[in-house]
Amino acid sequence: MKDLNGRVAVVTGSSRGLGRAIAVKLASLGAKVVVNYRSDKAAAEETLRLIQQAGGEAIVIQADVSVFDDAQRLIQGALDHFGRLDILVNNAGTTRDTLLVRMSEEEWDIVVDTNLKGVFNCCKAAQRSMLKQRYGRIVNITSIAALAGNAGQTNYSAAKAGQIGFTKALAKEVGSRNITVNAIAPGYIPTDLSATIPPDLLAKGMELMPLGRPGIPEDIANAVAFLVSDEGNYITGQVLAVDGGLAMSM
């Protein structure tokens, strides 16, 4: 079993879906976890309850990661409470799906600010402490939309593709300080965020997918756990598609 005892993790957008599964998984391996939410306090407290029920340790911090000051407050809250920060999982995300011809500037900005600027904000805020302690594990949750594009998601695909470039560049900057930076590209995982996918596109995706079935949030959580553990300490600047083979079929 991967041992994360003594490690402290911040998981953005961990009130539900992939983020909740990641937070619960890391806590089950011994990490102390900061559960983050933007607006759904009750859902975040449910994540906290699940962690504590299993014997883990966690706190909840509200912060909108698209706002730089909020991201700084989130990271500082982890440092103030636990005394260190070892793992940052940038999972917070949002969608505003529509064809580009109908897309408003606001719909573009909201998606880019949360999915891409949020990664910059949190990594920027976390970098100093990780550099000082000469240790860090950063995982950015991107998407197969970044690898293959997706009609009706120019904003989301662009933001998620930006995460990949960011991941590779930052990995080169901080590798000498024993900080790894990787990305995970989930395929179709049923969550609230993916519930807006049109049924015809979903059916087509299932036909293309070699495994022929959707994943579950725990599939992503397991991949994160590997990358942030000692077993993944020689992997950096990589994009791991956890998608049942969908990306290579698109």
**Residues annotated catalytic, as ranges:** 156
3-class secondary structure, 185: strand
246, 218 in Cβ contact below 8 A?
no
Amino acid present at 169:
A
**Residue of 101, 117, 119, 230 whose CA lies nearest to 178:** 230
Structure tokens at 3: 């041992």
Query: How far, in Å, are 13, 31, 55, 122, 233 from residue 193 at the CA level?
Result: 11, 26, 29, 21, 30
Question: Phi and psi at residue 38, in whole multiples of 5°?
Answer: -95, -45
Closest CA to 87 of 239, 228, 235: 228
- DSSP for residue 153: -
Residue 137 CB partners (closer than 8 Å, separation 6+):
86, 87, 88, 179, 180, 227, 228, 232
